[in-house]
Amino acid sequence: MLLSAGGVCSIAFFSIVALAFASMDFLQFLFWCAVFFAALWLARPLSGRALAAERDSFLSATLVIWIFLMISGAVFIHNQTTASAEKGNVDQSAIYQALSWILSLFVLAIVSIFRPAYLRRLFVGSLKWASIFAIVAVLSCPLSPKPLYSLTLAFKLCLIVLTSCAIAESIDDEIGINRTFVALFVAMLIIVLIDFLRPLLGSDAFVGGRLGAMIGLSGTCGVLLLLSVLFLWLTKNPWFLVCALFSVMVMMLAGTKGGMVASFVSLIMFFSFLKRPAQALVVSIIFSIIFALCLVFTPLGHSLQKYTEAGSASTLTGRTDLWDATWPSIKSHIILGNGYRASRFLSAEVPGAFAEAGNMHNSFLEVLYNNGLAGFLPIAVMSFLIVFNLKDPILRPTNLRQKYFAAAALALFTHLFVWGLVAATFGGAPDDRFMTFLAILVISMLLRAQSDQKYRNRIYG
């Protein structure tokens, strides 16, 4: 008894000492891992029901993995210059982020032992194009200026595709589709909260009149706004109204123009798909009033004034110059491109590219630069399939709830497409935006399967 007590006390003592000397990044990693395992415990993927091939438990586990992968980029943030990345320097946060992906793969492998059917459907239905794109990304890694960097991100991409296939296989009804939307909402809410609080807790909340340094925050808020509006209309719960107003407020404070324009367009399109022109008008007026108030009472007005005075509008803040400079490189590597995520280094590799570009600032050009036509084709096909799959659920829905889901999915795609004209929202880094794109593809498949029995039989056998 005394020996056991002494052993426990010794373990506790050395654990406390280790934690006392641990870095904040390590403590943060432990915290989010604890949250991840707590969520998995609630999902109970290894319960008796799950071992009996219960879809519900398997879906819960895969959605927890999905959320963990989505928020990893916001949780383990690391800002690094192109010069530093070229030298092979690796930030500690990047290591913990990679460890979170390995942990996710480990958990997915365990739960897949009891329901491995989705592994036989990786090249069936619309998701086969995601699998093809992942293969192209992996094969192109040796072409990249930093193959190991590209291979690391390709690993996450493959993991995301596997998880999306697992989610698609475990959904059988509208309840599963609803839970997928809930997972997207939870992930986006966590991301926006982290990106909102981090600069406020730092030394300088506003950089150049914008909240924080995350230039894609306004667009991410737009995704959260759409999901909040969807659940507000479905549940009438005022909590989602609070989330919608919060997302608009953060969107304006972040002040990124492409994200704000895409958010406005997609929100109007959501009500247009539902054939609610009056509500679309009301929402556009409310959005405009909030925008006007933010211009007057927040740094947004100063930020837009500086943008206008600098004369950057004609080149979309240097984007058109970047596209002109990189076009010869795209044409000379038109088949396989320059390697997956080679665009991370284009500021150093391409003469005329502006400093710290980091990507092509256009979704389709991002794919062409990195993976050529071999990568562009699957992305283009997936984009077409999203619209095609959602056509019937919007025009001829079996019930009103299905129409809401379809309208929200198509509005989210519209958001990513419009935003993707000036940012790499899909086809590039496997971040929350690309994951949203793949989630929309999964949802479009499932909604089409509900109204098309032949399609359902072809997908699920």
The confidence score (pLDDT) of residue 247 equals 95
Q: DSSP letters of 294-330?
A: HHHHSTHHHHHHHHHHHT-GGGTTTHHHHHHHHHHHH
Q: Which residues of 243-274 are buried (b: 16+ CB within 10 A; e: fewer)?
A: bbebbbbbbbbbbbebbbbbbbbbbbbbbbbb
Question: 3-state DSSP call for residue 145?
Answer: coil
- For the stretch 264-300, pLDDT in tens is 999 999 999 999 988 888 888 888 888 888 888 777 7
Q: Which two tokens stand for residue 426?
A: 């899909």
pLDDT at 314: 62
H and E: helices and strands count for the chain: 20, 2
CA-closest candidate to residue 328, choices 312, 344, 357, 349: 349
Mean pLDDT, range 322-351, rounded to an integer: 92
**Residue scoring higher pLDDT (219 or 356):** 219
pLDDT in tens, 182-237: 999 999 999 999 999 888 877 666 666 677 666 788 999 999 999 999 999 999 99
Q: What is the mean pLDDT of the chain?
A: 86
When pLDDT is averaged across residues 226-255 and rounded to a whole number, the result is 93
Beta bridge partners of 207: 210
pLDDT of residue 65: 96
459 or 5, greater pLDDT: 459
How far from each other are the two terminal CA atoms of the chain, in whole angstroms?
58
CA distances from 131 to 117, 125, 436 (A): 16, 11, 16
> So what's the pLDDT on residue 224?
97
Q: In the prediction, which pLDDT does 306 show?
A: 72
Can you give the pLDDT at residue 90? 76
- The pLDDT confidence band at residue 14, using thresholds 50, 70 and 90, is very low
